Amino acid sequence: MIISTKKGTPQVEVQKIIDSFEAQGLQVTLIRGTDYNVFGLVGDTTKIDERQIRANPWVEEVTRVAAPYKLANRLFHEADSVIDVAGIAVGGNAPIAVIGGPCSVEGEAMAVELAKQCKAAGATMFRGGAYKPRTSPYAFQGMETEGILALVKARQATGLPIVSEMMGEDTVDEFEEYVDLVQIGARNMQNFNLLKAAGKMTRPILLKRGLANTIEEWIMSAEYIMAAGNPNVIFCERGIRTFEKYTRNTLDLSVIPILKQKSHLPVIIDPSHATGDWRLIESASLAAVAAGADGLMIEVHSAPECAWSDGAQSLKPDKFAAVIEKCRAVANVVGRTM
Amino acid sequence: MIISTKKGTPQVEVQKIIDSFEAQGLQVTLIRGTDYNVFGLVGDTTKIDERQIRANPWVEEVTRVAAPYKLANRLFHEADSVIDVAGIAVGGNAPIAVIGGPCSVEGEAMAVELAKQCKAAGATMFRGGAYKPRTSPYAFQGMETEGILALVKARQATGLPIVSEMMGEDTVDEFEEYVDLVQIGARNMQNFNLLKAAGKMTRPILLKRGLANTIEEWIMSAEYIMAAGNPNVIFCERGIRTFEKYTRNTLDLSVIPILKQKSHLPVIIDPSHATGDWRLIESASLAAVAAGADGLMIEVHSAPECAWSDGAQSLKPDKFAAVIEKCRAVANVVGRTM
Amino acid sequence: MIISTKKGTPQVEVQKIIDSFEAQGLQVTLIRGTDYNVFGLVGDTTKIDERQIRANPWVEEVTRVAAPYKLANRLFHEADSVIDVAGIAVGGNAPIAVIGGPCSVEGEAMAVELAKQCKAAGATMFRGGAYKPRTSPYAFQGMETEGILALVKARQATGLPIVSEMMGEDTVDEFEEYVDLVQIGARNMQNFNLLKAAGKMTRPILLKRGLANTIEEWIMSAEYIMAAGNPNVIFCERGIRTFEKYTRNTLDLSVIPILKQKSHLPVIIDPSHATGDWRLIESASLAAVAAGADGLMIEVHSAPECAWSDGAQSLKPDKFAAVIEKCRAVANVVGRTM
Amino acid sequence: MIISTKKGTPQVEVQKIIDSFEAQGLQVTLIRGTDYNVFGLVGDTTKIDERQIRANPWVEEVTRVAAPYKLANRLFHEADSVIDVAGIAVGGNAPIAVIGGPCSVEGEAMAVELAKQCKAAGATMFRGGAYKPRTSPYAFQGMETEGILALVKARQATGLPIVSEMMGEDTVDEFEEYVDLVQIGARNMQNFNLLKAAGKMTRPILLKRGLANTIEEWIMSAEYIMAAGNPNVIFCERGIRTFEKYTRNTLDLSVIPILKQKSHLPVIIDPSHATGDWRLIESASLAAVAAGADGLMIEVHSAPECAWSDGAQSLKPDKFAAVIEKCRAVANVVGRTM
């Protein structure tokens, strides 16, 4: 960590800063400039809060050199983590995961039927929302437990592991019992209570990026889950919020090479939420695979215009199959299978 | 609600759209253009999901004319709501509320002493964090129940109502019993489970704006709390995330006139989190009062450089008193008291 | 265009609005709701300014249904435009264009040598900055005319058409004479004087997206060039500004399918500026090709750490060749050549 | 400047970096950490390009400690700069400047009449657009020279200095001759050719912040003008682009205390463009004055619904007078006159 102080900082204040860091077991080196002084701290700075240091009125700037995360950091875990989702491997050189399914589960028959179609189209996992985070309190909030049980039936019928979003600590037991890959949604990426609860589960966690969260904050949220005891975290990019109005969000594919450089955890792309428009999904999916994604999560519905939520961004099963087919061709030429 | 369809939409598809809305009890008027058709829907469209309509491949654009919120909507509640916080009125023509206190409670003695200083400086409520949302799992997470009880002692010593952030549904009972104004933090603005839980409390709720949430989404989160049974919501702007690097966030004071136009609920400004820098707080506080804020929430600490969190954005009690004094002068000339 | 008026708008004001649009030759249809009225305008609304209509205090909202651009609009030009750049076709089913070269031209020998290396690696055009838009007035501002002439030598040596950025109207003659594809930089995307000047040139224009411009504004800037007489415009996405700090910009690949839907003009991707980091270029280039880009523009330098500008985002020629090789494989499986 | 290198950087590479900086006359101090090394550079780093250093593959991070600007830097010019605009002082303790006038000049009679009304309302300068930057090539582009001459008549009639936007280098002579305060618009904030041209003028320059430019970039653009010979620059904040949809832009008032800390130049606020809605102007103007602005620039039109551009954000003269009256009261209590 590097700290610079303002021009004219009295020697006694400089010394106070040095003393305070040395008291925390850090080595301090001072560089004197004409207009400022700079301190370099050597040692474990993970627990030091930059904003705390800035509270000192003589401090000009604080720069963190070492990343604030450890368990998620590739520096201390060179090999790719391969996460096991009920028998399906995600990450490393494993085949690219294909997660398909409806935004909302609309009943057992629908879930079973759609899971079969998704499997036939090439999906390796089945997703469905049972607890739905909706902007409006008047919108459909999901079938809840009934929806989870419908997903279980879909798994029984197809063998596909199931993926669903957990919205609160009150459903931890239900998800631990039934759901193979537990999703933490974008709006809960910094719901730290939920992250800690997920950290105590044995199920792998699919951690979506928040609407306006930096990659570093995202890794820190994975670190929360890992620090609480659950090392099995998969990142899922779903687009960030920008000024652009033609798309629901802006898909940031740079996260793929960056996460792979900074962390050892896998990363999956959700082109459905990123674009918000089914006509943009094929292009975004192909791009994600070419960029090196470890998986895709795509919304599928047999009659999007009748879906109970988010039909605008859902593919029909045959279109989904066609997209997967094209993605597989791209995967093959970039050295992956699918 | 206004819906436009693409050039070349077959008459049968146009009719299907009309039929589907009429089946929902809405009146449909059709405008035929050369390149597109437009439908106007008249009736209660609150429960209609725009994204659902967009799933229809013939639909080009959907525009909501009526706001999607009702309980928080000034259209249906003309008078300003004045929220009672343990005897302190917030909103309408009530004196501008002044909430001061530390980012984190650091013990009973500290809380009591600081509450006295804040009161002397002009604060009408005392704030302190007992449960802290921190980006890093390794950072101080708050004193929890011990912190809440320290705030209670501070209230006993000063008579000031206390304000603190509730992070999860597991502490609802504790907050209902002890805390006068229950804060929902920025990172939980769309934690819908928590909003529903807050809606079942009898305590008023201070709802912070999310890091990258629109004003409409923010009002919808208030609507969640109100729809669950708690009409006492106060908005709190704390800055939004932008590309600017010199400030922690960008304080958006336009929310004041906009919220007063769209809603009847009060709005408070938090210049500490918005700016992230104590040197910017005076300017932002004066601006907030001039812009019409119903209250200010400012972090105060007797030794910011030793604070357990966010010292960089805390004022010392004497500086806090000076800021309040200046704000009072501005309040008087814009027709408010403080 | 759809206009809604506020609850309680007097009939006389409603009639004034109708009269004013009818006077402009538009047909007006009125839909009456309980809380608002809605007008639909049918006819040519291209010249109507939404913000003008909003000046009427009775107006609540204005929505444009028809796009505000004509010449760039696919609705009126169904076939892909294929732009001829000194013999190299860009767009439609033409091979994906590969533009390589240094951020700044550093001399004739360097330009000639690097152009040969780029050609050997698979480039079909050669780029180089002679006039450089630099944030600091103290930074290297480019070799100017000497740089352009060096590019001309590079073209003579390799046959590659040359691409360079034009920063002002004072150099229009120079660019018209020497440069095959004239770039308008991101910071000048809404320098309307320059757009008009470019519209009077016979050379094709490479129009970069502004740092924070919407796709619609970008198309409108192309429309400026086209309306002034030059139909040969190629879009170039180079990343937009967001809150993310790990990348220089956020590359928005959704522009590819969106531009292809809204417009008939080709679109090229610049992964160098988008990411700002050479380690991210391969991933971004592969993604761009998979997403359907009509070309790539990549910075190449034989010794990036000695480059006069932007070395951090430049590839060495051998790495450039390897990236192109991989991109070609992806191009082939998505139905394109390269 | 602080540079950190990656874990495992060979000693020979470390030495190369040291040598290269020492060759540029800088003193280099090395701090060795367990996972990284850090270099501190002491000396004049203004001309060093951070991005250049990052091109070195062994470099992890580069942090600039000293600001990259000199002439605009308060560190080297402690006193506030007070800019003289044809006899009206702006900045320091001068009365807060009030610039009123229409978005577009619509004729001589209109300009003269409106200037009289603005003066009566309290304006100390008169603004009017003669060259208009419009998103659409089909929108009204301004009266050009005729508009400038109309402004001159308005000045003759009222004695108010005139302010107008210069869009290109081709009109430098016209602006130098006629216009008292030459505006560089937001879309041209990084049109470096125009900045250099403005730097050669003797007229003071009103430099608007770009739609998505950081405060540092903005100061660098002032530095361009100053480095070219014109020390008389006034900053003008007009809102930045964010995700929020209820306002045209987000007004960032934090620029006031920040610019006053970093620079010695005055700063004016434009609430009209910032909000885009006349109903929000009063609140924003009061806030700007309270926050410490050196001036306000507000659009005024006698019949906003008939204005040739931007009527939605214009005040009528009597409303303008009322806003100024209220602002004056706020100015007085924050220690300024108006």
C253: which chain A residues are within 8 Å (Cβ-Cβ)?
251, 253, 283-284, 287
Q: How far is CA A111 from CA A104, A125, A156, B30, B211, in A?
A: 9, 13, 11, 37, 35
Question: Is the Cβ pair C251, A252 closer than 8 Å?
Answer: yes
Judged by average pLDDT, the poorest of A112-121, A221-230, B16-25, D291-300 is: B16-25
Q: Is the pLDDT score of D66 beyond 80?
A: no
Q: What is the pLDDT of residue B35?
A: 67
- Rounded to 10°, the helix C108-121/C145-158 angle is 40
Q: Is the pLDDT score of D154 beyond 90?
A: yes
Closest Cβ–Cβ partner in B250, B280, B334 for D326: B334
C68: which chain A residues are within 8 Å (Cβ-Cβ)?
none
What does the mean pLDDT of chain A come to? Answer: 93
Q: What is the pLDDT of residue D34?
A: 65
Interface test with C, best of D53, D63, D187, D245 (most C CBs within 10 A): D187
Scanning every residue of chain D, which has its alpha carbon at the shortest distance from the alpha carbon of C68?
Answer: D136
Eight-class DSSP state of B229 = T
Q: Record the tokens describing residue D203, joined without a space.
A: 């007229």
Question: Is the Cβ pair A2, D7 closer than 8 Å?
Answer: no
Q: Is the pLDDT score of D261 beyond 70?
A: yes
What does the mean pLDDT of chain B come to? Answer: 93
Residue C136's pLDDT band, with cuts at 50, 70 and 90, is very high
- Give the percent of chain C with pLDDT over 90: 74
Q: Is the pLDDT score of B108 beyond 80?
A: yes
* Between residues A25 and A321, the one the model is more confident about: A321
pLDDT tens for D78-127 read 999 999 999 999 999 999 999 999 999 999 999 999 999 999 999 999 99
Interface test with A, best of C217, C244, C256 (most A CBs within 10 A): C244
**Mean pLDDT confidence for D218-246:** 97
Question: Is the Cβ pair B291, D280 closer than 8 Å?
Answer: no
**Mean pLDDT confidence for C108-137:** 97
Closest Cβ–Cβ partner in B214, B274, B288 for D245: B214
Contact C249, C209 (CB under 8 A): no
C65: which chain B residues are within 8 Å (Cβ-Cβ)?
4, 33, 36, 38, 60-61
What is the secondary structure of B247-315 as a DSSP string?
SSSB--TTHHHHHHHHBSS-EEE-HHHHH--GGGHHHHHHHHHHHT-SEEEEEB-SSGGG-SS-GGGPB
Residue B29's pLDDT band, with cuts at 50, 70 and 90, is confident
Residue C130's pLDDT band, with cuts at 50, 70 and 90, is very high
| Termini Cα distance of chain D | 42
What is chain C's length?
A: 338
What does the mean pLDDT of chain D come to? Answer: 93
Residue keyed to tokens 């008078």: B79
From D246's Cα to the closest Cα of chain A, the distance in A is 12
Q: What is the pLDDT of residue D8?
A: 81
Q: What is the pLDDT of residue D203?
A: 98
Q: How far is CA C22 from CA B301, C16, C43, C115, in A?
A: 64, 10, 10, 59
Residue C86's pLDDT band, with cuts at 50, 70 and 90, is very high
- Residue C162: φ, ψ to 5°: -110, 145
Closest CA to B206 of B239, B232, B167, B169: B232
pLDDT tens for C200-229 read 999 999 999 999 999 999 999 999 999 999
Q: What is the pLDDT of residue A119?
A: 98
Closest Cβ–Cβ partner in D54, D136, D223 for C312: D54
Q: What is the pLDDT of residue B34?
A: 65
Judged by average pLDDT, the poorest of A92-106, B153-167, C74-88, D300-314 is: D300-314
Residue keyed to tokens 């600039």: D64
CB pairs under 8 A between B and D: 129
Q: Which of A57-66, A275-284, B56-65, C322-331 has the highest mean pLDDT?
A: C322-331
**Mean pLDDT confidence for C154-181:** 98
Alpha helices in B77-128 (DSSP H): 108-121
Contact D236, D183 (CB under 8 A): yes
Which residues are paired to D28 by β-bridges? D41
**Mean pLDDT confidence for A258-269:** 97
**Dist CA C336 CA C92 (whole Å):** 10
Q: Which of A60-74, B138-152, D34-48 has the highest mean pLDDT?
A: B138-152
Q: What is the pLDDT of residue B15?
A: 87
Q: Is the pLDDT score of D35 beyond 70?
A: no
Q: Record the tokens describing residue B147, joined without a space.
A: 């912190």
The chains found to touch B (3+ Cβ pairs under 8 angstroms) are: A, C, D
Q: Is the pLDDT score of B36 beyond 80?
A: no
Question: Is the Cβ pair C305, D55 closer than 8 Å?
Answer: yes
Pairing relationship of beta strands A2-5 and A37-42 according to DSSP bridges: antiparallel
* Between residues D13 and D122, the one the model is more confident about: D122
Q: Is the pLDDT score of C237 beyond 70?
A: yes
Q: How far is CA A45 from CA A16, A19, A217, C67, D172, in A?
A: 18, 16, 17, 54, 55
**Mean pLDDT confidence for C124-136:** 96
Question: Is the Cβ pair D307, C192 closer than 8 Å?
Answer: no
**Mean pLDDT confidence for C130-141:** 93
**Dist CA C161 CA A18 (whole Å):** 59
Judged by average pLDDT, the poorest of B45-54, B90-99, C15-24, D235-244 is: B45-54
**Dist CA D338 CA D326 (whole Å):** 10
Question: Is the Cβ pair D49, C309 closer than 8 Å?
Answer: yes
CA D322 from centre of chain: 26
pLDDT tens for A69-95 read 999 999 899 999 999 999 999 999 999
Q: Is the pLDDT score of A34 beyond 70?
A: no
Scanning every residue of chain B, which has its alpha carbon at the shortest distance from the alpha carbon of C28?
Answer: B31
Q: How far is CA B105 from CA B111, B124, B165, B201, in A?
A: 6, 18, 11, 23
* Between residues B232 and C40, the one the model is more confident about: B232
The chains found to touch D (3+ Cβ pairs under 8 angstroms) are: A, B, C
Which residues are paired to C141 by β-bridges? none
Q: What is the pLDDT of residue B4?
A: 82
pLDDT tens for A308-327 read 777 788 999 999 999 999 99
Residue D229's pLDDT band, with cuts at 50, 70 and 90, is very high
Q: What is the pLDDT of residue A63?
A: 79
C212: which chain B residues are within 8 Å (Cβ-Cβ)?
243
pLDDT tens for C306-316 read 777 777 889 99
**Dist CA C95 CA C90 (whole Å):** 7
pLDDT tens for C69-81 read 999 999 899 999 9
Q: Is the pLDDT score of A222 beyond 90?
A: yes
Scanning every residue of chain D, which has its alpha carbon at the shortest distance from the alpha carbon of B276?
Answer: D254
ipTM of the complex in this document: 0.92
Q: What is the pLDDT of residue A157?
A: 98
**Mean pLDDT confidence for C230-257:** 96
What is the secondary structure of D23-59 as a DSSP string?
HTT-EEEEEE-SS-EEEEEES--TT--HHHHHTSTTE
Q: What is the pLDDT of residue D177?
A: 98
Q: What is the pLDDT of residue C46?
A: 75
